[in-house]
Amino acid sequence: MKTLKERILAEGEYLGDGILKVDSFVNHQVDPKLMDEAGKEFSRRFKDVGATKILTAEISGIAPAVATGLHLGIPVVYARKRKPITMPDQVLLTLAPSHTKGRTVELIVSPEYLAGGERVLIIDDFLATGATIMGLVRLAEIAGAKLVGIGTLIEKTFERGRMELEKLGIPVLSLAPIVSMDENEIVFKE
């Protein structure tokens, strides 16, 4: 997606150790117009998979997931990283390592919002090692839902997370796949 790539080049900052800071438009401050454009693109690409629900992880996956849900006309559920008191005692839970947090995080979903028979489309901000997305995959599987696709705004192809996801046999789409990045340059896959 051209607009997203342009924003990454203009405002993205390589912090070393494979970390790309896009806080000014994705991860801390959100550009609603950009997310709407991403949601339109995801909905165009995934319109035929028959998704009934979108699944993401808090917090940075929520904006692109909601925009996609709006354009597909389906609800969005996000995996929380802490269990609030409003959640039932029995929850769907898995663990996933977080590169940016430097620790393992819990991914928690209430079973009232993710159940068997759902056709789940995962939308998230980044695909790197695939650890968080595989955590979301596990949650969908635990719920008895069928996974129908995975979409991410940005993919760091050099971290090879796609290889694991492609084994699932479903469409995997990234709007801005990056093949390399360092202090001087960010290079996108053509």
Is a pLDDT exceeding 80 seen at residue 101?
no
When the pLDDT of each residue in the chain is averaged and rounded to a whole number, the result is: 94
* CA 182 to mean position of chain CA atoms: 23
Triad 71, 126, 153: Cα angle to 5°: 35
Q: Encode 91-115 in three state secondary structure.
A: CEEEEEEECCCCEEEEEEECCCCCC
Pairing of strands 19-21, 13-16: antiparallel
Q: What is the pLDDT of residue 168?
A: 97
User: Which pTM value belongs to this model?
Assistant: 0.94
The DSSP code for 157 is: G
| CATH for the 2-188 domain, from 3.40.50.300, 2.60.40.10, 3.40.50.2020, 3.40.50.970 | 3.40.50.2020
Is a pLDDT exceeding 70 seen at residue 48?
yes
Triad 85, 88, 151: Cα angle to 5°: 95
Helix (H, G, I), strand (E, B) or coil at 131: helix
For residues 28-33, give the mean pLDDT. Answer: 97
For residues 84-105, give the mean pLDDT. Answer: 82
Is a pLDDT exceeding 90 seen at residue 111?
yes
CA dist 65 and 124 (Å) reads 7
For residues 115-124, give the mean pLDDT. Answer: 96
Is a pLDDT exceeding 70 seen at residue 100?
no
DSSP-assigned beta bridge partners for residue 156? 178
Is a pLDDT exceeding 70 seen at residue 69?
yes
Q: Can you tell me which residue has the tokens 């947090």? A: 101
Is a pLDDT exceeding 80 seen at residue 102?
no
For residues 128-136, give the mean pLDDT. Answer: 95
Cβ burial of 88 (10 Å; 0-12, 13-18, 19+) is: exposed
